[in-house]
Amino acid sequence: MDEIDDDRRLGWRVPGWVPPDRPARAPIAGRYCRLEPLVPAHAGALHAANSDPARWDYLPYGPFVHGADYATWVADMAASPDPLFFTVFPGDAAPAGILSYLRIAPEAGTIEIGHINFAPALARTPAATEAMVLLIRAAFEAGYRRVEWKCNALNAPSRRAARRLGLVFEGVFRSAVISKGRNRDSAWYAAIDTDWPALSAAYDHWLDPSNFDASGRQRMRLGALTAPVRRAYPPPKDDEDP
């Protein structure tokens, strides 16, 4: 067999592959927000910002009625290397959300983004989008080959966010988890390194200040900018909101 036949039979070669480093517990700065490693001191502001119990519906923990309970959870998560949590600071404002890397596998070049919980004041803002972009960008620039996003298949806002970011739907894993005593089917999305140049350009275009008018309204939708990446793959028939 020739080399092409071997690639078809066994998968293409990845010459010179060097696993990336694990992500650092270090700040990441953006234009509209900055990400700081989660520390116990952030607990009070985060608990106040996320007081709506509905914000916890699709997370495997919470809601935390009492600030002390949330502070205990934050202290535990702040010490965790995986998931590795970051706090979102929009502009000069107080902490308004968290998100994390998880299932960090440098040997495979894969990493996931999850545990996203943004306060209502942060959600649907350029800072919220940039927070997710900062983690995606940092992962690819570090040398990861694949960035994953998994969510409850019933979580329509999370599925829309994944598509808007240009992540490709890869299917639903049925009965994947039992969360809070309920079945969870998990929807999988991902971007890979060959998607990254087009996604990076789309993110830069959308986040540029010129993309927003004087009232802060977007001129070009991010989903429209990232659509060519998603369209490069045959769309599964069941990538629909519940």
- In tens digits, what is the pLDDT along the chain, a chain of 242 residues? 566 678 888 888 888 899 999 999 999 999 999 999 999 999 999 999 988 899 999 999 999 999 999 999 999 999 999 999 999 999 888 999 999 999 999 999 999 999 999 999 999 999 999 999 999 999 999 999 999 999 999 999 999 999 999 999 999 999 999 999 999 999 999 999 999 999 999 999 999 999 999 999 999 999 999 999 998 887 665 555 54
Helix (H) or strand (E) holding 116: strand 110-118
CA distance 158 to 186: 11
* Short-list 170, 147, 150, CA closest to 161: 150
Q: What is the pTM of this model?
A: 0.93
Here the tokens at position 17 are 């592959």
Tell the residue number behind the tokens 């620039």, with chain if given. Answer: 141
* Short-list 198, 200, 175, 171, CA closest to 185: 175
The β-bridge relationship of strands 28-29 and 168-179 is unpaired
- The reported pLDDT for the residue numbered 136 is 98
Q: How far is CA 9 from CA 1, 14, 29, 70, 192, in A?
A: 10, 15, 43, 51, 21
